[in-house]
Structure 1
Amino acid sequence: MMRQAHKRSQLRTRAVVAAAALLLGGGGTAVIAQHASAGASHGGGRDAGHGSHDAGGGSGGGSAAGARTLACPDVGDRLRDVPAPARTEVSRGLSQLDAQVAQAYERMTSHQGGEDTVLDELKAKRAETIGRINDSLTADGAGPAPATVAAASLSGCRTEQVSTAAADDSSRDLAPRLGARGMPGGPSRADFADIRTAPLRNGPRARPGGSTGTFTSVCGRNENGHFNPDNVIVTPGVRNGAHHMHDYVGNKSTDAFSTDASLAAAGTTCANGDKSSHYWPVLRVLDGKAAPDANAPGGGHDGNMGTVLRPASVTLQFRGSPVSKVTAMPRFLRIITGDAKALTNGVANANASWSCEGFENRQLKDKYPICPKGADVVRTFAFQNCWDGRNTDSANHRTHVAFARPDGSCPRGFRAVPQLVQRITYDVPAGVPFAVDSFPEQLHKPVTDHGDFINVMSDRLMAKAASCVNDGRTC
């Protein structure tokens, strides 16, 4: 186990100040330079590995309309082969990279050193850590040289300006608590929108030969209080590998040190005996109240403040393919949907969906919904529903699964499996802002929302699920 030794006193202090600002009706965002809004493009800047980045668009760079953050290449996403002997060291290295970015972000937003100095020091630290990752990939014949990642091109980071200007006045009711520009570290009023302004959602229609049934596991709402800031899929063996708090249902034992064997031996909160692990970042209301984890890893230690909301409901449903039958998932298949770093990575892997009860034909991808009175907030994670037929995981935790094409068919080389849809609802107090936990530099943006799943169903139960889906039954 690697101990996360970094100190975040300044980050905690800013979070406490932000909480006080909420109660006082204030707000404000730490701004340290003027550049254009962050957007989909990540190709500019003074150079590819250092300095400021002008993404174009946005507010025109005025400090009154923007917040500053750090954008670093995602090393984990570049991995293509991690041999078993290297996994522990790679996991530790990836967690260290996240900690280094968080430290640098804290220094920048609290003005502890000049921007260029912070970026130079961060680049040096990242280069050293990436070098260790590469050494572990090639040590003792653990893997071929092509498994390594390019330290020179991935070590440098840049600063980005993120717009905090609301596009319209739909978030005006949040102003007394959130302030005109939001909280230090996010979110801002620009991150909220009336659900009635969201686009209508349309999907492919079922065709003859499709699979229209559903299979549901009833696993509760985390009444047993299973929380931790680990991520056993991305950073196994590392405490606080996520740097934000996760909410769990299903498997009762999931943490950083879980193995296939320990998950299979554990108990479950699911009524049908399904031992699968389902988890996602907690949702917090920004009510200015100190949470029990205000000084803990994953909580205030990592810039996540506010009261954790228990879901009003959790629905875990497996659905079919509109164009074909589905194949049973293999046991211990791991899937991540969405991107916890979508603010700085771009939206290629983003898969957030926010809505309100009664309005789920409308979905927001990069905004939190402002719901009509009496309507709960809804988070929906529709997971990748195509599998490569061979692997239960991949080095970057993405390439072994894929989303179906717009017509519902799977890409070449993939086969349809039951699609997991996690639907979580929350009774959010009217007029009170809320946000998901996130890495500090991701500013609690709604686009960073993501869900995680490890299939620990018995083969018999998964076969039943596939049969229900293929036969058009509701189970």
Structure 2
Amino acid sequence: MTVAAAALLLGGGTLTVIAGTALAHNSDPAPVTGPQHLSATAATISCPDVGERLRTMPRSAQPQISRGLAALDRQVSDAYHALTAGGDSGQLLRALARQRRETIGAMADAIAGGGAQRPDELLRLSACTTKPTGAGQRQTQNQDLSQLRNRIGDRPQGQDHGQNRGPGQGRNTLRHAGPSPDDFLDITTVRPDTDTAAPPFAAPSGRGATTGTFTSACGRNEDGHFNSDNVIVTPGVSNGAHHTHDYVGNTTTDAFSTDRSLAAAGTTCANGDLSTYYWPVLRRLDGTVMPRPGVGHGGNNGSVLTPASVTLTFRGSQAGVVRPMPRFLRVITGDAKAFTNGPENAAASWSCTGFENRQLKDKYPLCPRGSQVVRTLVFPGCWDGRRTDSANHRDHMAFAGADGACRRGFTAVPQLVQRLTYDVPPGDSFAVDSFPEQLRKPVTDHGDFIDVMPDGLMNRAVACINGGRACS
């Protein structure tokens, strides 16, 4: 079927394509049954990440910044859908640039209105390009964790509610929205990597290290706490993530949560930890469609896989003692847009039980029979000692350097490591949720954490870590 874009309508913060026949989201009238493997598109939309470039955000500007970032994501998603529906790429990119410039300008005005210097340099981030996703763009099979470690050590780091409580059958919307077979790799063909014994992947050890651990047992999201919000990056905006998150810990977390509401909530953690922990869901590619924001409307089809285990461990520093985190500290790891941004902020890895000395960053692992898929999300463990958040949600935190020490101006705090295991169906039949234009690539995996531990519990965690004990 030939799909031709007939018109572009700009308005209301979205980009709409009126197609000559049908748009991608309703172009397949047949119900879906049985396993569905999604094939990659020939190209996607790649735009400069405005949120990553933010350095100043006055408190009064926060609502406009949040709405602006959500609008930019929506505009890119709409342009991507229009491109895959057969729209003219040049026309789409010109319209998208005009729209982004208007949105970024409003964000810059809000920053200036809050008393900070107007960041006019952000306007240079309006233009976008297309990025090929075919064989010419395939990632190498050898995972260079050494380069990733060096990057992490050199710079600061941190990325309508889409409920997803049961299966729903329907049209296989956006079947083109990745991943591709090239995104999977047999773990048995990967050589063991000695870099997993170095920061940030390895646990602290040796003279001077704080070797204790503190673990919060918070379940596996058995209660079905899902939404497509992101209270750290786009607070106050429903469907700010465009993909669905699993939550454990705090039972009320959504886009509209505040420090006060989080502190007053319940928790799934056995030790009274009120912190919120969340990450994109992993799905079985079985054709299940949930026609809701962040799911079917974003191409993230498939039934949700509940983790077989969730381990939330805080550990110490290679270089000495850790100090308590401040309550309501917000920490992110990984990059939800790493496929188009590049791997600079990628910090998640994939492996299989029994093979965790072989870590993949840009591939999903194909595990032998009886072995589970493992997702490891390592968070930065160095804090600037002043802020509980920063404009880009990264600059107030950093990973330790290659020697395990925090750089000047940062101090070590308990470092969170999330380890998730899954029983997945055989073969290349699972994928993580992502922004639509990120094509569900494994390199986009990421995690988010807000510390809401009561002060007494945090002090106990620090004492255990610095004392070399294993506590929970």
- Shorter-chain TM-score range: 0.7 to 0.9
Q: What residue is the counterpart of 2:25 in the other structure?
A: 12
- Tell me if the contact between 2:38 and 2:178 (Cα under 8 Å) persists in the aligned partners: no
Distance 1:236 1:27, change over 3 A: closer
Residue identity opposite 1:110 in structure 2: A
- Taking the aligned partners of 1:304 and 1:185, their CA distance within structure 2 comes to 8
Provide the secondary structure at the position in 1 that maps to 2:133. Answer: strand
Is it true that 1:365 corresponds to 2:339 in the alignment? no
The Cα of 1:29 is off from its aligned counterpart by: 3.9
Of 291, 295, 304, the match for 1:308? 304
Matches within 5 A, 1:205-284: 206-284=205-283
- Tell me if the contact between 1:285 and 1:432 (Cα under 8 Å) persists in the aligned partners: no
- Tell me if the contact between 2:104 and 2:123 (Cα under 8 Å) persists in the aligned partners: no
Of 174, 177, 184, the match for 1:185? 177
Q: What residue is the counterpart of 2:110 in the other structure?
A: 136
Q: What residue is the counterpart of 1:174 in the other structure?
A: none
- Taking the aligned partners of 1:15 and 1:220, their CA distance within structure 2 comes to 38
Distance 1:336 1:231, change over 3 A: same
Q: Note the residue ranges of structure 1 that are not aligned, 5 or more in a row.
A: 31-66, 171-181
Distance 1:15 1:283, change over 3 A: farther
- Taking the aligned partners of 2:345 and 2:31, their CA distance within structure 1 comes to 30
Distance 1:269 1:16, change over 3 A: farther
Of 363, 383, 390, the match for 1:387? 383
Is it true that 1:159 corresponds to 2:130 in the alignment? yes
Q: What residue is the counterpart of 1:470 in the other structure?
A: 466
Residue identity opposite 2:433 in structure 1: D
Aligned length: 417
If the length of structure 2 is used for normalisation, what is the TM-score?
A: 0.84
Distance 1:167 1:385, change over 3 A: closer
Q: What residue is the counterpart of 2:65 in the other structure?
A: 90
- Taking the aligned partners of 1:334 and 1:22, their CA distance within structure 2 comes to 38
Q: What residue is the counterpart of 1:203 in the other structure?
A: 198
The Cα of 1:12 is off from its aligned counterpart by: 3.1
Is it true that 1:118 corresponds to 2:92 in the alignment? yes
The Cα of 1:206 is off from its aligned counterpart by: 2.1
- Taking the aligned partners of 1:240 and 1:303, their CA distance within structure 2 comes to 14
- Tell me if the contact between 2:39 and 2:177 (Cα under 8 Å) persists in the aligned partners: no
Is it true that 1:339 corresponds to 2:365 in the alignment? no
Deviation track 1:363-414 (CA, whole Å, cap 9, x = no partner) reads 1000000001011101011100100011100000000000001111111111
Q: What residue is the counterpart of 1:399 in the other structure?
A: 395
- Taking the aligned partners of 2:141 and 2:65, their CA distance within structure 1 comes to 46
Is it true that 1:127 corresponds to 2:101 in the alignment? yes
The Cα of 1:352 is off from its aligned counterpart by: 1.8
Residue identity opposite 2:72 in structure 1: L
Deviation track 1:232-273 (CA, whole Å, cap 9, x = no partner) reads 000000000000000000000000000000000000000000
- Tell me if the contact between 2:327 and 2:452 (Cα under 8 Å) persists in the aligned partners: yes
- Tell me if the contact between 1:12 and 1:302 (Cα under 8 Å) persists in the aligned partners: no
The Cα of 1:151 is off from its aligned counterpart by: 4.2
Provide the secondary structure at the position in 1 that maps to 2:343. Answer: coil
- Tell me if the contact between 2:249 and 2:277 (Cα under 8 Å) persists in the aligned partners: yes
- Taking the aligned partners of 1:107 and 1:88, their CA distance within structure 2 comes to 28
Distance 1:413 1:151, change over 3 A: closer
- Taking the aligned partners of 1:463 and 1:445, their CA distance within structure 2 comes to 38
Provide the secondary structure at the position in 2 that maps to 1:73. Answer: coil
- Taking the aligned partners of 1:244 and 1:422, their CA distance within structure 2 comes to 19
Provide the secondary structure at the position in 2 that maps to 1:150. Answer: helix
Q: What residue is the counterpart of 1:57 in the other structure?
A: none
Distance 1:97 1:167, change over 3 A: closer
- Tell me if the contact between 2:216 and 2:269 (Cα under 8 Å) persists in the aligned partners: yes
- Taking the aligned partners of 1:428 and 1:14, their CA distance within structure 2 comes to 29
Distance 1:464 1:167, change over 3 A: closer
Q: What residue is the counterpart of 1:416 in the other structure?
A: 412
Deviation track 1:434-461 (CA, whole Å, cap 9, x = no partner) reads 1111011101000000000000001110
Q: Note the residue ranges of structure 2 that are not aligned, 5 or more in a row.
A: 1-11, 143-173
Deviates further, 207-216 or 274-283: 207-216
- Tell me if the contact between 1:207 and 1:323 (Cα under 8 Å) persists in the aligned partners: no
Distance 1:16 1:330, change over 3 A: farther
The Cα of 1:11 is off from its aligned counterpart by: 4.4
Q: What residue is the counterpart of 1:49 in the other structure?
A: none
If the length of structure 1 is used for normalisation, what is the TM-score?
A: 0.83
- Taking the aligned partners of 2:23 and 2:111, their CA distance within structure 1 comes to 36
